[in-house]
Amino acid sequence: MINFILRRLAAIFLVLLIVSALVFFLMNAVPGGPFSLGERGYTPDALANLERKYGLDKPVWERYLNFLTSALQLDFGSSFSVVGNPPVTTVIARTWPVTLHVGLYTIIVAFGFGFILGLIAAYYRNSIIDNIVTLFATAGTTVPNFIVATWLLLIFGYQIGWGQPNKWIIPPVLGAGNAILSWDYFLPVITYALLPMGLVARYTRASVAEALNADYVRTARAKGLGERGIMLRHVLRNALIPMITVLLPQIPNLLTGSLFIEVAYGINGLGKFFVTSITNKDYPMIMGLVLLIAFFWSLTYLLTDVLYVVIDPRIRVGGRGGAI
């Protein structure tokens, strides 16, 4: 297992190297630049001075080698567009906490409630309860986040008085801060959680329903094992593998933010900042954020493979047959 993890970590480094090269050269192939005359209105002399200051006057291959040398020391350069030109790591440290809070709460809500709903739907499959859960999960996965955010803002974005102004005020809906626990996260988390919750419920329902029909479950029932024991000892463990394959890759998306959610609720997080960095052609910020997201994706797939072995001891790493 240790050798497998070390090989995968080496593969992650190679993936980050390839991603950095692709993004860097494609980014510099786009016409214009962060200090383009047509977009910012700099004079030719001012433009030349800015490019010289930030090393943009050098050949692209030389700039990429300089970037790699600095990136290996976790130095991604300074932002072009943020006031004061702070280091990229400083900007990420300032904007990521609120996105992490929203993402972590979303994971708890989506995976917790989605798993419970999927279990209920699978246990009462082909019943009215199953149909209701399936309808809810389908709606959650098909209705876009920005539509849900608009509805919630229209419904809950104003003071509700029942004839008396200011009688009851809902939790704040805009500008979630950096506090770990805050009512500001209530509506963003509900909006953000509907899609992954629907996915979790649907795949949990499918995996558990398939496991309930397996031969080993019928054998366990024939031996007189109770339903609770069957669910805990046989069904859930065998149903987790297909669920992990589909659901764990949702986590990087949730932890790196959503443009629609953060714009709708006025959250100054990483997702919103990523899009503004692309708009401003802020090369150092783009590279830092892309590599952060790529690292999370690679780490998630490594975690997925490790969990395979933990959940099902029949799976072995580095061997034959069912090896990963």
255 vs 278: CA distance, rounded Å = 19
89 vs 284: CA distance, rounded Å = 10
- Residue type present at position 202: R
141 vs 192: CA distance, rounded Å = 11
Q: Which of 115, 108, 106 is nearest to 244 (CA)?
A: 115
Domain ranges in the chain?
Answer: 31-75, 88-311
The 8-class DSSP code of residue 279 comes to H
Tokens 């593969």 -> residue:
11
Burial category of 318 from C-beta neighbours within 10 Å (exposed 0-12, middle 13-18, buried 19 and up) = exposed
Q: Which of 205, 210, 209, 236 is nearest to 138 (CA)?
A: 205
Q: At the topology level of CATH, where does 88-311 sit?
A: MetI-like fold (1.10.3720)
pLDDT at 219: 82
The 8-class DSSP code of residue 205 comes to H
Which three-class secondary structure state does DSSP give residue 157?
coil
H/E run at residue 222: helix 215-222
Which three-class secondary structure state does DSSP give residue 87?
strand
Distance of CA 242 to the CA centre of its chain: 19
- Six-digit token pair at 157? 């974005």
Do 45 and 60 touch, CB atoms closer than 8 A? no
87 DSSP β-pair partners: 78
Q: Which of 9, 7, 15 is nearest to 294 (CA)?
A: 15
Give the count of beta carbons closer than 10 Å to the beta carbon of residue 233: 12
Tokens 């900042």 -> residue:
273
The 8-class DSSP code of residue 171 comes to P
Q: What is the pLDDT along the chain (324 residues), one digit of tens a residue?
A: 778 788 888 889 999 999 999 999 998 888 777 776 455 566 677 777 877 887 778 888 888 999 999 988 888 888 887 777 888 888 888 888 888 888 888 888 988 898 889 888 888 888 999 899 989 888 888 888 888 888 877 777 654 433 344 444 444 545 555 455 556 778 888 888 888 888 888 888 888 888 777 777 788 778 777 777 777 777 777 777 767 777 777 788 777 777 778 877 778 788 877 888 888 888 888 899 899 889 988 888 888 878 777 776 666 555 444 455
Q: Which of 257, 262, 272, 135 is nearest to 205 (CA)?
A: 135
- Residue 297 sits at the vertex; the CA angle it makes with 293 and 301, to the nearest 5 degrees, is 170
CB proximity list for 171: less than 8 A, separation 6 or greater: 183, 184, 186, 187
